[in-house]
Amino acid sequence: MVKLSMLAARMQKMKANNLAGIERHNKRIYKNHSNEDIDGELSHLNYDLMNRQGKYADVVKDIIDSQKKGNRAIRSDAVLVNEWIITSDKAFFKDMAPEERDRFFQEATNWFKERYGQQNIAYAQVHLDERTPHMHLGVVPMRDGKLSAKNVFNRQELRAVQDELPKYLQGKGFEIHRGKEESERKHLSVPEYKEAKEEVKKVKEEVKKTASKASQLAEFHNNVNDRVKTLMERNKALEDEVERKKALVKEYVQRVEVLVSETKQGEKPKRYRAPMSEPIYQPEVKTERLRGRMVKMSSEDYNKMLASQKNLENNHEFLVKHFNLLGDMYYRSEKEKQRLAAELEKANKAIPVQNEFFVPAAELQKAQQEIQEKDKQIQAKDKIIGEQAAQIKSMGKAIMQCAEFIRDMRKQAHDLVNDLAKRMGIVPLVNKLIHQEKEQKAQQQKPMEIEVADRKPEPPKKRRSRADDWGMER
C-alpha cells in the first residue's frame, strides 16, 4: 500500500495562440528547456495515452469541426482547450511500481473520457523526465455542438472535478484523497508553480537581509524629513509674505491702468430695441368646393379665431415695450459707468506711483481709500447692469418665442379659415368679412348662418381635437 497523498488537479485555459507553445513543452520539441527540473536523458520515457497524429492545432480543429452545429465562426479569443495537470506529491510515486504508476494516469484519463467524451480529449501527455511524474490532459470544451469553456468548466464543474476524481481513483485502489479547497481558486501549471515557489524563497531571504537596514534608513529618513519640513515651512512663510506685498501693490497699479484705458476708449454704450410684430397674415382664397360637401359655420366662431390672434399681438406689443424699457435702463447705466471711470482717472492722477513694486505708505493709503470707494460704486452699478442684462436676455428669448408662436398660430389660423371657406364654398363672403374687420376693427358681430347650397348636409363627423385642426394643410 502506498502512503496516503493528496491529488493535485490544476486547470489552465489555452487559446489559439497558446497551442503551439504548450505542444513544444509537452512533446519536448526544443532542446534547451527553461525548466531546470527537466532531465533530457529521460525524455524518451514520456508518452501520450491518446496517440493522436498531427499538431495540436489541427487535432483541436478536427474535434471542433466534427461536432460543431451551424456556420458561425469560432472567435479568435475563444478558449479551445482546457488543460488539466494531474499529479501528486513525491511520496505518492516514490515506491510505486512503473506498471502501477502508468495505471494511475490511465485511470485518470478514463475518468475524463467518461465525463467529457473520448472524442473531446485532444491529448494526455505523461511526463516522467521531471522530479515528480505528472500528466497534461487537454479537453476541448464541446457541448451540444457548441464550443463553450464557460459552460463546460464553470465553477461548479471545477469543484466537482476536485471532489469526484479522487473518489474515482480511490475506487480503483489508489490511496489518494482530495486536495485543499484553496487549490481551486487558481490553477497553475507545474513550471509556473515551481517558479513561484522559488520566487517566494528569494523574496523571504531579501526581506531578512534588508530588514535591519530598512529600520535604520527609516529613522534617518524621518529625521531628515522633519528638518527639511521645518525649513520649507519657514521659507514658504517668507515667500508668501513677499508675494502678498508685491501682489497688493501690483493689483492697484493694474486697476488704475485698466480703468484709464477703458476711459480713453470712450465707446458709446449700445441701445437695445426689440423687433416689432408683423401684420396679421391674410392669404387670398379661391372659390372652390371640397368634394361637393356642405358645411355650416357661424360668424361667431370665425370672430373668435380673429380675436385670439389679436390677443397674441397685444401680448407681443407688451413684451416689446418692457424690453425697450430695460434697454434704456442698461444704456443709462453704461453712461454712468463711463462718468465714474472719468472721475476715477482724475483722482488717480494725484497718485504718484514711483515704480511697479513700491508706493509711499501715506500716498498709497489715500489712493487705496479712493479706489475702494470707486470700486464699491462700480460694483453696485455692475450688479445692476448684470441683472438688467440677464433680464434683457430672458425677455429677448421670451419675445422671440412669442413672435414665433404668433407667426405659427397666425399662419395655422388662416390656413384653417381658408380650408373651412373652401369646404363651405363661401370664399367671397370670408374675404368680405376680413376686409370689414380691417376697416371697422370690430370683434363682435351678429351670428349668421352661411349655407353653400340647398343640398341636404351630410351627418356631422367626429369632432377633431384642436391640435389636429391647427395642423391641417391649406
How would you class 147 by CB atoms within 10 Å of its CB: exposed for 0-12, middle for 13-18, buried for 19 or more?
buried
Domain assignment present for 279 = no
pLDDT digits (tens, 9 = 90+) for 395-450: 888 888 888 888 888 788 878 878 888 888 888 888 888 788 777 765 544 444 44
**Predicted local distance difference test score (pLDDT) of residue 85:** 95
Q: Give the CA-trace dihedral at 380, 381, 387, 390, to 10 degrees.
A: -140
Q: Which structural domain, as residue segments, surrounds residue 201?
A: 191-265
Q: For residue 143, give Cα distances in angstroms to 116, 148, 155, 262, 390.
A: 9, 7, 16, 82, 69
71, 143 Cβ separation under 8 angstroms: no
Neighbours of 121 (CB within 10 A): 19
d(CA 274, CA 385): 18
d(CA 257, CA 264): 11
Q: How many domains does the chain have?
A: 3
**Predicted local distance difference test score (pLDDT) of residue 205:** 72
pLDDT digits (tens, 9 = 90+) for 26-77: 998 876 666 777 888 888 999 999 999 999 999 999 999 999 998 888 898 9
Residue 313 is inside which H or E element, if any?
helix 299-348
* DSSP string of 272-301, one letter each residue: --PPPPPPPP--------STT----EEHHH
Which residue among 133, 166, 188 closes a domain? 188
423, 295 Cβ separation under 8 angstroms: yes
- The residues, ordered by sequence, that sit 6+ positions from 347 with a Cβ below 8 Å of its Cβ are 370, 374
> Which CATH number goes with the domain that contains 166?
3.30.930.30
> Does one domain contain both 184 and 196?
no
> Does one domain contain both 48 and 166?
yes
Q: Which of 276, 305, 283, 286 is nearest to 409 (CA)?
A: 305
d(CA 191, CA 139): 20
**Predicted local distance difference test score (pLDDT) of residue 13:** 94
Q: Where are the alpha helices (DSSP H) in 117-154?
A: 149-152
Sites in the chain below the pLDDT cut of 70: 1-4, 31-34, 180-204, 207, 210, 212, 214, 245, 248-249, 252-253, 255-298, 301-302, 349-361, 441-474
Which residue among 188, 205, 235 closes a domain? 188
Domain assignment present for 272 = no
d(CA 395, CA 392): 5
pTM value > 0.75: no
